[in-house]
Amino acid sequence: MDDADTIQPLNSRPRYAPGDSDAFYAHVGSGGKVEADDWMPDEYRAAVLKFVEMHANSELMGVLPERDWIMRAPNLRRKLALTSKIQDEVGHAQLLYRVAEDLGKPRVQMLQDLLDGKTKFHNVFHYPTKSWADVGIIAWLVDAAAIVSQQALRDSSYAPYARTMKKICWEESVHIMHGRDVVLTLMNGTAIQRAMVQEALDRWWGPLMQMHGPPTDPAKDKDLHWGIKAKNNEQLRQEFLSIYVPRIRELGLTIPDAALAHDDVSGRWQYTEPDWAELKSVVTGHGPASQERLDFRRDNFAETQWVRDALLGTATAA
Amino acid sequence: MVAVVRSGQSRSTLHDMSSHGERVERVWEVFRQEDEGDPMIHSGNVNAPDEELAIHYAREFYGRRGESHRLWIVPRESVLELDDPDLLKPPLDRSHKKPGGYIIKHKLEAAKARAGEGST
């Protein structure tokens, strides 16, 4: 038979008809993507919405610890970098609320639920900040832990979310460099400055280890099955440790966990079991700074009502 | 043959719930050109009650870092969509429309060999 007569392989991705949940899950289970306009089962829509809304809330609340340091930044360049990072994070919140809005929940309702404590935001944003070193540790390590999970989300089955994550990851990489630069500058400074970084690391390590959440049973993790997220909690934590433990230790910093060690046989990091009770308490609004942060957002929401009125109110006579 | 052409209107009804005569927000799709001459690539979308604010928001989200040469801002309902696989990915061999559909290696070798024989 002549080569040119060979039939080429055809488009083989399983398609699904509206209303056919089984075919839909076969589609996303085999790496297929879903667009905002496509039909999707209600439980898939609800799961993506919950995931993206929590992410958006975290971006919005995450700027508050850093906001406290704008007026105390040590020089103009640091102040510009910090304000720019904060502007980026609020922008991420806006992009993500937009993705969530397209799934059917109005933005104002999402903000109201956040202020009412009905929806959550990441544990690390429920803690107070105490020194300038916190700004470095947050921008370097909290953003690093976040980017590990965000990079995996670039493969999400919900395509508008995956595309948004590509843009967000690009911006987060700038934040990590800014944070690492702040930490390196302090580590090259005085003994007091080095002690300040160590003290900040000691406080943030626990929340950092809790941040990706407890290990879940992959068989029961719907978000994983449906491809909403591509990696499980423990995979993300292991990835974070593999990249950042060496980078922390090479600066002469001590990670406050005597049990932390890499097991060369299993290829995994071993560590003291993170305090999952603390994680649960903190994300349900009982963290040391939870209510203070929510109060700030409540006041801010009331104070900016006139802006929303001006933008959306009835147009006055031309 | 039936072409399934959809507009985006079906999913923006949520934003039309205006009860007190407020201005209605609507969705604008944003396309970004990174550099002069590059293709316009879809970037995302913004929610705005009018063209002026849509342009401001698009600039804020997709042009703040000097990463864009040009933006297109289009009301979502103006976008016509065609994603019917029967039309776009018909289950027929289309290899004759692609360069890769013509595998000439062995034919060329045979032709060269034949030409070589003829010249001796």
The answer to whether A37 faces chain B, any CB pair under 8 Å, is: yes
Q: Is A262 helix (H, G, I), strand (E, B) or coil?
A: strand
Number of H helices, E strands in chain B: 3, 5
DSSP-derived secondary structure letter, A274: P
The pLDDT of residue B38 is 95
Domain count, chain A: 1
Per-residue pLDDT in tens (0 to 9) along chain A, 318 residues: 444 455 544 555 557 888 999 999 999 988 899 998 889 999 999 999 999 999 999 999 999 999 999 999 999 999 999 999 999 999 999 999 999 999 999 999 999 999 999 999 999 999 999 999 999 999 999 999 999 989 889 889 999 999 999 989 988 889 999 999 999 999 999 999 999 999 999 999 999 999 999 998 877 888 888 888 889 999 999 999 999 999 999 999 999 999 999 999 999 999 999 999 999 999 999 999 999 999 999 999 999 999 988 988 855 544
Kindly report the nearest CA distance between residue A95 and chain B, in angstroms.
8
**Per CATH, domain B5-93 is 3.30.1340.30:** no
Higher pLDDT, A29 or B22: A29
Q: Are B91 and A11 an interchain contact pair (Cβ–Cβ within 8 Å)? A: yes
Inter-chain CB proximity B103 and A91 less than 8 Å: no
φ, ψ for residue A251 (rounded to 5)?
Answer: -90, 0
Residue A94 lies in a domain: yes
Chain A residues in contact with B45 (beta carbon < 8 A): 98, 102
Whether A72 contacts chain B with CB within 8 A: no
In a domain, A310, yes or no: no
DSSP A3: G
DSSP, collapsed to helix, strand or coil, labels residue A1 as coil
| pLDDT at position B6 | 44
The enclosing domain of A50 has a CATH number of 1.20.1260.10
A36 touches chain B (CB under 8 A): yes
Instruction: Report yes or no on A316 lying in a domain.
Output: no
Note whether residue A22 is domain-resident.
Answer: no
What is the pTM for the complete model shown?
A: 0.83
Q: Is residue A16 part of a domain?
A: no
Structural domain including A190 reads 30-254
Query: Is A18 part of the contact surface with chain B (CB cutoff 8 Å)?
Result: no
Write out chain A residues lying below 8 Å of B89, CB-based.
10-11
Task: Give ipTM to 2 decimals.
Answer: 0.74
Contacts of A298 (CB under 8 A, 6+ apart): A115
